Amino acid sequence: MKTNTPLKTSAQARTSLIAICGAVALLAGCATEPDSHLVSAPPPPAPNVAVMAAPAAVTTTQTTQTTQATPTGTVVTTQTTPVNTMIVTQVAPPAMQAEVVLARPSSSHAWVPGYWTWRNNRYEWMAGHWEVPPYSSAKWNAPRWESESGAYRYYEGYWN
């Protein structure tokens, strides 16, 4: 006696095999997640705390201007003096940087040497430059840092 079982054609067999393999591959890819390794640098250490004992972090100066009429023309005199704004930090200032003094622009210019100032909670170098003093006998008093009770206090430079 013969049984009637439908025979699959080779095309049908291949299609079934591809479908099964695809389903297995799809499920195999979803079975596990890849290991995730996040590589990043740790946050930078907190800077040494700067104590700002002033109403603002910016040191300011006050400029006074005097105008005089003379027989030869008008003379304008300016004088810059520091305002009592104070910057105090617990971080010692870096060593002074060597500077190249460029050619003097004119005989009325005076060299103002570079210095370290405090901005954005860190020291910043202010490069030296030529400047015309506010009057002919004016002398530049350079800014300075002085150690006081374990901290460093900044004194602004000014023309005297």
- pLDDT, tens digit (0-9, with 9 covering 90-100), for 108-145: 999 999 999 988 889 999 999 999 999 989 999 999 99
51 vs 146: CA distance, rounded Å = 15
pLDDT score recorded for residue 146: 93
pLDDT score recorded for residue 55: 32
Confidence band (pLDDT; 50, 70, 90) for 87?
A: confident
Phi, psi of 114 (to 5 degrees): -70, 160
pLDDT score recorded for residue 53: 41
Read off the pLDDT of each residue in 82-107 and give the average, rounded to a whole number.
86
* Res 18 pLDDT > 80: yes
128 vs 101: CA distance, rounded Å = 8
19 vs 27: CA distance, rounded Å = 12
Kindly provide the b/e burial profile for residues 116-138, where b requires at least 16 CB atoms within 10 angstroms of the residue's own CB: bbbeeeebeeeebeeeebbeeeb
Q: What percent of the chain has pLDDT over 70?
A: 54
Q: Is the pTM of this model over 0.85?
A: no
Q: Is the dihedral of CA 104, 105, 111, 112 positive or negative?
A: negative
